Structure 1
Amino acid sequence: MKSNIKILLLILIVINSTSYSQNKKLNLVGNWNMTDYWGNKSDFILSEDNYASMSVNGEFIDGKNFIIHGGKNDGQKGEMKYLINYGKTPIELDIIAMKENKEMGRILGVIKPLNENEFLMIWSFDGKRNSDFSENNNEQIMTVKRKG
């Protein structure tokens, strides 16, 4: 009898967490800390006006005003914006590189909300969206926690 109650409670917890991730619109605007598989931490900021800023290899990239390093656009001003699709499961969060209001490239992302202040995220750089949150893909999964 006790084991049946434990199983029932476990099922209710799973259903509750699944319904949270599918029904509650997570507010992603704000300042976040990203941690990758190896424990590397970086800042990740999503503004209300859809700009994304982040630290990459210790360098902070201001989404509203950053200077492009390398390639044919070296030294020119660019922007980084984000686009969220809450209608997909997992939720899609793309980072879009812009120059003169024209899309220059896109990082395809997915997120799996854990609660209102934490989610898991995977970014794909090869043009194919990776949504494998299983243990087999741990090296690709980042943990993102709201600051403050």
Structure 2
Amino acid sequence: MKYLFTFFIIPFFLLNTTTQKENFVGKWLGEDQSEIGYLIFDTEGYAAFEIEGQVMGGKEFYMKGKKGKMTYSINYDTKPIEVDFTLTKIESGESKKILGIAEFTDKNTLQFNLSFDAARPTEFGEDSIVLKRVQ
């Protein structure tokens, strides 16, 4: 009986973890100071911001004439969830991190807060944004 319990419980937790990590994948719509934009997480670990049709991020993009990429990592072991974006200049390898926190209010709604300096936000406040999954 003990082995049967282990046989069913361990795969359940592995499946649950895999599903949880896939929650971020998709296109999320947000509005900040009357600007509508999107945050996109793909299955390969790339992320992009899209505002007024301009995309910054993903596997390859140009900024000030330089080719770059933006990846993301998610730490589900913290509360709130830590979400880090890494912008990398492809030619030089130079990179910069954008630190954030996130919290699901339901499977298609995400409260999000980012910091563009070196300190991670610790709470959700007036700088937070609510994102709705659109894809």
Q: What interval of TM-score do these two structures reach, taking the shorter chain for normalisation? A: 0.7 to 0.9
2:110 matched to 1:113? no
Q: How far did 1:131 drift?
A: 2.1
Q: How far did 1:40 drift?
A: 2.1
Residue of 27, 30, 33 corresponding to 2:26: 30
Q: Which amino acid aligns with 2:133?
A: R
2-side partners of 1:52 and 1:103: how far apart? 17
Query: Residue 45 of structure 1 corresponds to which residue in structure 2?
Result: 40
RMSD of aligned residue pairs (Cα, Å): 2.1
Give aligned-pair identity as a percent: 32
**Structure 1 stretches (4+) deviating beyond 6 angstroms?**
none
2-side partners of 1:115 and 1:42: how far apart? 20
**TM-score relative to the length of structure 2:** 0.76
Pairs aligned (count): 116
- Per the alignment, in what secondary structure is the counterpart of residue 45 of structure 2? coil
- In the alignment, structure 1 segments of 5+ residues that lack a partner are 1-22, 70-74
Q: Which amino acid aligns with 1:92?
A: E
The more displaced of 83-92 and 93-102 is: 93-102
TM-aligned CA distance change 1:90 to 1:50, over 3 Å? same
2:86 matched to 1:96? yes
Query: Residue 145 of structure 1 corresponds to which residue in structure 2?
Result: 132
2-side partners of 1:103 and 1:126: how far apart? 16
- In the alignment, structure 2 segments of 5+ residues that lack a partner are 1-16
1-side partners of 2:62 and 2:94: how far apart? 16
- Per the alignment, in what secondary structure is the counterpart of residue 68 of structure 2? strand
Q: Which amino acid aligns with 1:124?
A: S
Q: Which amino acid aligns with 1:29?
A: V
Confirm or deny: 8 A CA contact 1:96 1:103 kept in the other structure: no
Q: How far did 1:54 drift?
A: 1.4
**TM-score relative to the length of structure 1:** 0.70
